[in-house]
């Protein structure tokens, strides 16, 4: 019996030894090592973020972190009281933290991480047993708010939480190191125990495409514009259209990533890639490009704008209530005339129009290397005849600013779309390039020939049309204005997009001013000057010399007196003199002009005509041409210049007596015959 019992016990012990030594060997070894060693992580230094010229935008500096060895703290209450005063922490929380750690026999705990120099000095003076320091890296942004929506910020463990800090975290963060030391049963470090140091591997540096100077220019001008027009917010994006490199991306309001926790989370959001809005007339570049590419419209094709278009029984107005009258396609783009673009979209048809909307990248993300990019709002299945018409001039579709600047850059880049990006290269600490982010072609959206034609047309918008405030002295500028009405009554988005030089673009820029107030709402008047200043200063900074055209003999002309004239007659006079014209305001009579009458200017100079609804006091007056106008429009025009009307028939004006251009006295009557068709 005794022998049998001993034999069973021996086999049981052998089985137990086998179970412990072989089956559970790794698990128990790890638990044992955890009991007799302390393992303190050593944080690597996070890589620096630089602009394209290697100016630091985000750096890491070594700071103190306060740690505690709970087994070595004899008086928890006293230690907690002294630390709470030095570190501005609650005593009760410190007591609970240290006490729980002592109970669990933890060898080391964090008290407060990444403290200031002042806090570090206070703790050192206390000379508390069981309290010691370790070094960690803290993220600093030396330019404070500059490019905050691009850079983002990091958390307490130096992990990227937003912006490029998040997108390129795997390159920036590095590999942590460790300090492993032997401890006794109470988790106290053994005086002569083994200690192993595994050094960390620091992160790589990230070079951005952003230029700090151009970013400063964009943020400065955006802040000034928002303050001047008392706007809600704004965005500016500056891009190299040939490469897709973003040179500046500014949003206001912004935040300081050094202190991001004290800003509302909504201020961290990057509107340039995350917010959608109705682009208004800036979207007309898509309609115009599609129409030219598909050969449904040509630059000199004739159109007529009565001030509205009827689509499926719904009246859709032009921004100029009286209409633009007879005009070519180029003039329609210059005037940003809605009925012209409606007609082009109708000629294209839904299928072809959708093809180009998608081709220019709307309804999908651009792939820009920034977090939170939205795809916009575009659903072709819900596009009927009315939606086709409204989308043609940028209403009924929502886009992101980054989509719009990418579409414009596609035209500037001879019809080739490239992916926008903010990362230029990954480099090691010695500046050696580990990986370079090159140009990423997407697709050929329109032909080279169509792109060249669009460049000329958009240049004409700045030279002769609504984009005159975007002119840059010495450069050929192409651009498009936009004024989109929001669904909230009286709220608008004013914008301007353009590229320069028009024939060989080096910069493309988009300016958006959201909800300006103070009476001025038009993109050409609000966003145009901002574009002009940003692009002009950027070109000067980049050392791109102006294109100075040779002045021809007899190239100057005196500006005629156009005050009190019917606006259409004033336009004809300016065209005969070789001068360009831009109309501001609403009405039929020129109230003032810039430059003033008699000023000697170069030919092709733009004369600004400010019109009002007031009546002229000029006597005699030249009878305006009201051909193609409705009864109401003809009446308003003739009354505005001090003439009466005798209406014959109905519909649109066909004949008038006396004929247009005849000078008569104020109060004279003009007989106008109307027919059914214009």
- Read off the CATH number of the domain in which 170 is found: 3.90.1310.10
Residue 618: per-residue pLDDT: 62
Shared-domain flag, residues 504 and 529: yes
In a domain, 339, yes or no: yes
Quick one: 87 and 218 in the same domain? no
pLDDT at 142: 93
Per-residue model confidence as pLDDT tens digits over 541-552? 999 888 755 444
Same domain, 168 and 216: no
For 374, what's the count of Cα atoms within 13 Å in the CB-facing half-sphere? Answer: 17
Question: Does 550 map to a domain?
Answer: no
Looking at the fold, whether 361 and 507 belong to one and the same domain comes out as yes
pLDDT in tens, 269-317: 999 999 999 999 999 999 999 999 999 999 999 999 998 999 999 999 9
Give 233's pLDDT tier (boundaries 50, 70, 90). Answer: very high
Based on the domain organization, do 292 and 179 belong to the same domain?
Answer: no
Quick one: average pLDDT of 468-474? 89
- Residue 180 falls inside a structural domain: yes
- Integer Cα distance of 37 and 529 in angstroms: 67
Choosing from 499, 518, 541, the residue where a domain stops is: 541
Based on the fold, state whether residues 192 and 223 are members of the same structural domain: no
Task: Let me know: does 303 contact 340? Beta carbons within 8 Å.
Answer: yes
For residue 291, what is the domain's CATH number?
3.40.710.10
Q: Which of 358, 366, 451, 367 shows the shortest CA–CA distance to 397?
A: 358
Question: Are 591 and 453 members of one domain?
Answer: no
Q: Does 32 fall in a domain?
A: no
Count of CA atoms in the C-beta half-sphere (13 A) of 655: 4
What is this structure's pTM?
A: 0.76
- Residue 509: Cβ-neighbour burial (10 angstroms; 0-12, 13-18, 19+): buried
Q: Which of 541, 575, 598 lies at the terminal end of a domain, its last residue?
A: 541
311 shares a domain with 163: no
- Does residue 633 lie within any of the structural domains? yes
Question: Is 526 among the domain residues?
Answer: yes
- Tokens describing residue 505: 């673009």
Q: Is residue 421 part of a domain?
A: yes
Verify that 471 and 322 share a domain, yes or no. yes
Q: Which pLDDT score, from 0 to 100, does residue 628 have?
A: 79
Nearest to 498 by CA among 561, 412, 583: 412
Catalytic amino acids? 281
User: Which pLDDT score is estimated for 59?
Assistant: 94
Please report the DSSP string for 589-644 in residue order. Answer: EEEEEESPTT-EEETTPEEEEEEESSPP--SSEEPPP-TT-BHHHHHHHHHHTT-E
3-state DSSP assignment of residue 484 = strand
Question: CA–CA distance from 673 to each of 307, 643, 646, 657, 663 (Å)?
Answer: 20, 16, 8, 9, 20
The sign of the dihedral angle between the CA atoms of 389, 404, 163, 213 is negative
Please, which residues have CB within 8 angstroms of residue 629's CB and are 6 or more apart in sequence?
A: 306, 323, 325, 637, 652, 653
Of the candidates 541, 564, 583, which is a domain's last residue?
541
Which residue range is the domain that position 594 belongs to? Answer: 556-675
Q: Dump the DSSP string for 241-292.
A: TTT-BEEEEEEES---GGGGGGS-GGGGS-HHHH--B--GGGGHHHHHHHHH
Same domain? For 203 and 216 the reply is no
Longest dimension (CA), the chain: 143
Q: What is the 3-state secondary structure (H, E, C) of 93-144?
A: HHHHHHHHHHHCCCCCEEEECCCCHHHHHHHHHHCCCCEEEEEEEEEECCCC
Q: Over pLDDT 90: what percentage of the chain?
A: 57
Tokens of 650: 């109905």
What is the mean predicted confidence (pLDDT) over 119-124?
91
- Under DSSP, the state recorded for 492 is E
Q: What is the pLDDT of residue 38?
A: 67
User: Do 506 and 592 reside in the same domain of the chain?
Assistant: no
Q: Which pLDDT score is estimated for 626?
A: 80
Quick: pLDDT tens for 37-51. 766 677 788 999 999
| Shared domain check, 324 and 234 | yes
Residue 537 lies inside a defined structural domain of this protein = yes
Q: What is the DSSP string of 380-395?
A: GGG--HHHHHHHHTT-
Q: How many domains does the chain have?
A: 3
**pLDDT one-digit tens code per residue, 15-29:** 999 988 888 888 888
Q: Nearest Cα to 429, choosing from 159, 157, 54?
A: 54
Indicate the DSSP class of residue 183.
B
3-state secondary structure of 557: strand
Q: Contact at 8 Å (CB) between 588 and 640?
A: yes
382 contact partners, CB below 8 Å, separation of at least 6: none
Would you say residue 623 has pLDDT above 60? yes
More confidently predicted of 64 and 621: 64
Confidence (pLDDT) at 553: 46
Task: Give Cβ neighbours of residue 402 (< 8 Å, ≥ 6 apart).
Answer: 237, 272, 273, 366, 368, 373, 420
């Amino acid at each position: 019996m005794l022998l049998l019992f001993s034999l069973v016990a021996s086999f049981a012990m052998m089985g137990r030894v086998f179970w412990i030594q072989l089956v559970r060997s790794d698990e128990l070894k790890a638990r044992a090592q955890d009991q007799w060693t302390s393992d303190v992580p050593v944080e690597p230094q996070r890589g620096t973020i630089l602009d394209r010229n290697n100016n630091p935008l985000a750096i890491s500096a070594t700071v103190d972190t306060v740690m505690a060895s709970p087994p070595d703290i004899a008086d928890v209450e006293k230690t907690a009281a002294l630390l709470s005063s030095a570190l501005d922490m609650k005593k009760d929380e410190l007591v609970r933290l240290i006490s729980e750690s002592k109970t669990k026999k933890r060898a080391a705990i964090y008290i407060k991480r990444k403290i200031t120099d002042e806090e570090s000095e206070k703790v050192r003076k206390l000379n508390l047993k069981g309290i010691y320091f370790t070094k960690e890296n803290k993220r600093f942004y030396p330019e404070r708010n500059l490019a905050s929506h691009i850079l983002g910020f990091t958390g307490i463990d130096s992990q990227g939480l937003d912006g490029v800090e998040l997108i390129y975290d795997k390159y920036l963060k590095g590999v942590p190191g460790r300090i492993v030391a032997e401890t006794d049963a109470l988790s106290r470090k053994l005086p002569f125990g083994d200690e192993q140091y595994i050094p960390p591997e620091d992160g790589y540096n990230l070079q951005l495409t952003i230029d700090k100077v151009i970013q400063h220019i964009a943020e400065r001008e955006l802040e000034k514009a928002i303050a001047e027009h008392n706007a809600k917010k704004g965005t500016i994006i500056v891009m190299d259209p040939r490469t897709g490199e973003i040179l500046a991306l500014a949003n206001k309001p912004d935040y300081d990533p050094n202190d991001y926790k004290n800003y509302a989370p909504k201020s961290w959001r990057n509107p340039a890639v995350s917010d959608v809005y109705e682009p208004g007339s800036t979207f007309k570049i898509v309609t115009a490009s599609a129409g030219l590419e598909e050969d449904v419209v040509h630059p000199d094709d004739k159109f007529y704008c009565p001030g509205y278009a009827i689509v499926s029984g719904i009246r859709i107005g032009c921004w100029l209530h009286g209409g633009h009258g007879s005009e070519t396609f180029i003039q329609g783009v210059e005037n940003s005339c809605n009925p012209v673009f409606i007609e082009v979209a109708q000629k294209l048809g839904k299928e072809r129009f959708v093809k180009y909307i998608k081709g220019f990248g709307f309804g999908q993300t651009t792939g820009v290397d920034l977090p939170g990019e939205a795809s916009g709002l575009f659903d072709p299945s819900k596009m009927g005849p009315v939606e086709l018409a409204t989308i043609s001039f940028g209403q009924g579709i929502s886009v992101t600013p980054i989509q719009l600047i990418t579409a414009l850059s596609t035209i500037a880049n001879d019809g080739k779309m490239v992916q926008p990006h903010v990362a230029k290269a990954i480099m090691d600490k010695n500046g050696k390039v580990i990986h370079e982010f090159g140009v990423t072609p997407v697709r050929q959206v329109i032909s080279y020939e169509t792109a060249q034609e669009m460049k000329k047309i958009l240049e004409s918008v700045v030279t002769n049309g609504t984009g005159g405030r975007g002119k840059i002295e010495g450069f050929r500028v192409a651009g498009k204005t936009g004024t989109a009405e929001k669904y909230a009554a009286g709220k608008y988005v004013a914008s301007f997009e353009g590229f320069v030089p028009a024939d060989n673009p080096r910069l493309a820029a988009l300016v958006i001013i959201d909800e300006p107030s103070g009476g001025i709402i038009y993109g050409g008047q609000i966003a145009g000057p901002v574009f002009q200043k940003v692009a002009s200063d950027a070109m000067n900074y980049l050392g791109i010399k102006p294109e100075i055209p040779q002045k021809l003999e007899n190239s100057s002309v005196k500006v005629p007196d156009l005050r009190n004239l019917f606006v259409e007659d004033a336009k004809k006079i300016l065209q005969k003199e070789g001068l360009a014209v831009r109309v501001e305001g609403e009405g039929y009579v020129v109230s003032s002009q810039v430059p003033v009458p008699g000023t000697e200017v170069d030919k092709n100079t733009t004369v600004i005509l400010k019109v009002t609804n007031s009546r002229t006091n000029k006597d005699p007056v030249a009878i305006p041409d009201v051909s193609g106008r409705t009864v109401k429009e003809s009446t308003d025009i003739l009354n505005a210049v001090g003439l009466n009307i005798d209406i014959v028939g109905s519909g649109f004006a066909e004949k008038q007596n006396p004929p247009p251009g005849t000078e008569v006295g104020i109060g004279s009557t003009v007989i106008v015959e109307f027919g059914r068709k214009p």
